[in-house]
Amino acid sequence: MKENFVNLRSPRIAGALLAVSLSLFLAVANATSLPPNTAASMLSLDGYQFLLPFPTSPGPRMQVRDNFGNPVADVRVRFQLPNCGSLSVAPYLPSGEVITRADGIADFGTYLAWPPPTNDCPVTMSLPDSPWVAPQTLHFIWVARSEVVLSPLPASSLTVDAGQQFRVGVQLSFRGFPLPGIEVRFSAPGIDGGPSPVASIVALGMTDEAGNAYSDVVAGFEGRVYPIMIGVAGISTAQVTVTQTAAVAAQHASALSPSGLGTIHASLFTTQSRCGFAQTQFFAANLLSAASAPPAHYVFPFGVASLRADNCGVGQGVDFAMDYPRPLPPTAVFWRFGPTPDNRAPHWYPMTSAVIDGSQVRFHVDDGGLGDDDLAVNGSIGVLGGVMTAGGLYQDMWWSGPAENGWGMSVVQHGEALFSVIYAYDALGNPAWYVMPTGSWNADVTVFSGALFTPRGSPFVNYDASRFVPGAPVGRASIAFNSSGSATLDYTINGVSGHKAITRQGFGVAGGANEGTRGDMWWGGSAQNGWGVALLHQYATMFMMWFTYDTAGAPTWFVMPGGAWTSAETYEGHVYRTKGSPWAGAVYDASGLKVFDVGTYRVRFTSESASFDYTIDGHSGTLALERQPF
């Protein structure tokens, strides 16, 4: 999970810190003393001088070796913090020690340096159980952001042809020294929120040992001049100006979306002047024949398009662009129906080469190749397909970002209906949830509003639905969706009002297998009415929230922010309980978040049902799950 509201697996910062707090501290407590005269040396694998360009930076890796040069495991490595500035890893390592792994390496994760140290800050590393091994001194030098230089690569301006793949880059340096291991972001924004001028761009790079980071870009189809922006957090951006030539011919067609949400624009770009649309049809997915009906739980929010381009040149390629009336979520996928070279029977398949950017989808099809529905080299290219989203445009896990790490909101969508649950904390910092099971849209279908409830029930370890009391509404909430990835949450709970800016949580890894059709609101059926499991699905990763009741019957929740597929139908992982800052009407303080690993879970799917096995605080049980209709 990257930047999830429990933030257990962020790879550079929070993941390293929480991994330290949840595992390395325990390892320190259980370490054994080093046998006399075992260790012969201690070596820094990353050198002895570290440039700190940001408040958080990867720390050093110290390796302990014996007299024969072999790594030594289970050895305590202690560091002494400098007196300059406040270079620290506390409170994540209150002991100031890390235990060497099997490879003899003590990995100190991420250093937090704020306020920044001044000039040269020496940090002493030693082996407390081996006083005969000489301590090592590492030097940390704070990098002033104003002195970081971003130099565009290969030049500050480029000229490219329509559809051409090219590379842009940047070099980061400080006083002539390269800055390796720094994340760099690349973007080619459209004008006034319009579509990007490029067909695709690799948005994230990492500087290498020479301080260089690169992005591979595929040029768009229209002739124009535009900047590719290159930036690093907290440092001013650089840019490469691209002059892009136009394709020879372009055709456009428009039609109303079958969903009634606006107009769809279809465009094709080609080097063949006579190539043009011979067919453009848009219709709801449920109008497809039974033989071509999409698989269950695949949702096409803007219907399906049937396009055909003729006179495009035998064996030539065509670029298509589809502009939809609403922004598309980052996990949307363009699905096609038709034969493929490896399966001549028409079937549904994801077009993984399609690029989704904002509200636009772009893809390339070669005459007779993959994606051409007749697979014939005849100068005619047919396309039947549409954008698929898991559940709907807005279904996902939402949060307020790292600054409010610890709470979140699940949104599950069935058609136009949303089922939303806020997972937050009461005045004492204990888990509390507020559910909005129904609601209504405004006239523009951009704001969804409904009543909030906080029911009472019976303990989850022995649930009794007869004791479920939904109660009267405790307030109302409105979710205003601003784009595909951002929204605002306004609420009134027990007379207290508040406002939150929220965004989608990215916990799935793009490019992996798309297994997203199991995302839904699951429950134990009417006989278990009162609790539920919000299961959100991004690519092959699942994120689950179990909202239920504690031993006193008060609302509580458990988070399962990830796991692993142990078989094609079985997903397993850990269950966490959290405590946090008071939420309703209060200024949320993420520093008050406490995370407790309280057990494990396993979900086994069988068609339209599932079994949910859990062990929490020593209590084990199995719950039968099914999709909840609403």
User: Which one is predicted more confidently, 117 or 501?
Assistant: 501
Query: In the Cβ-directed half-sphere of 132, how many Cα atoms lie within 13 Å?
Result: 9
Q: What pLDDT score does 58 carry?
A: 56
| pLDDT band at residue 55 under the 50/70/90 scheme | very low
pLDDT over 50 (residue 220) = yes
Q: Are residues 42 and 64 in contact, defined by beta-carbon separation less than 8 angstroms?
A: yes
Least confident segment among 44-58, 181-195, 438-452, 484-498: 44-58
Q: Are residues 283 and 260 in contact, defined by beta-carbon separation less than 8 angstroms?
A: no
Q: What pLDDT score does 81 carry?
A: 61
User: Which one is predicted more confidently, 522 or 181?
Assistant: 522
In the three-class reduction of DSSP (H, G, I as helix; E, B as strand; rest coil), residue 215 is classed as strand
Q: What pLDDT score does 417 carry?
A: 94
| pLDDT band at residue 327 under the 50/70/90 scheme | confident
**CB contact burial 554-567 (16+ within 10 A = b; e otherwise):** bbbbbbbbbbeeee
The stretch 11-17 carries a mean pLDDT of 27
Cα→Cα distances 522→422, 615, 628, Å: 16, 19, 5
Amino acid, res. 46: D
Q: What pLDDT score does 39 carry?
A: 64
Q: What pLDDT score does 608 carry?
A: 87
- Residue 29: its H or E element: helix 25-30
pLDDT over 60 (residue 396) = yes
| pLDDT band at residue 305 under the 50/70/90 scheme | very high
The stretch 12-33 carries a mean pLDDT of 30
d(CA 329, CA 391): 11
Residue 188 has phi, psi (to 5 degrees) of -130, 80
Q: What pLDDT score does 6 carry?
A: 39
pLDDT over 70 (residue 372) = yes
| pLDDT band at residue 248 under the 50/70/90 scheme | low
Q: What pLDDT score does 32 carry?
A: 40
pLDDT over 80 (residue 120) = no
Average pLDDT, the chain: 83
Instruction: Quote the percentage of the chain above a pLDDT of 70.
Output: 83
Closest CA to 561 of 521, 531, 534: 534
Q: What pLDDT score does 406 carry?
A: 95
Q: What pLDDT score does 439 carry?
A: 96
The stretch 27-37 carries a mean pLDDT of 41
Residue 601: Cβ within 10 Å count: 20
Give the pTM. Answer: 0.66
| pLDDT band at residue 42 under the 50/70/90 scheme | confident
In the three-class reduction of DSSP (H, G, I as helix; E, B as strand; rest coil), residue 192 is classed as helix
State CA 325 to chain mean position distance. Answer: 24
Q: Of the segments 118-132, 153-167, 589-603, which one has the largest average pLDDT value?
A: 589-603
Q: What pLDDT score does 584 carry?
A: 94
Least confident segment among 17-31, 509-523, 541-555: 17-31
| pLDDT band at residue 514 under the 50/70/90 scheme | low
- List pLDDT tens digits, range 528-578: 999 999 999 988 899 999 999 999 999 999 999 989 899 989 999 999 999
| pLDDT band at residue 512 under the 50/70/90 scheme | low
pLDDT over 60 (residue 56) = no
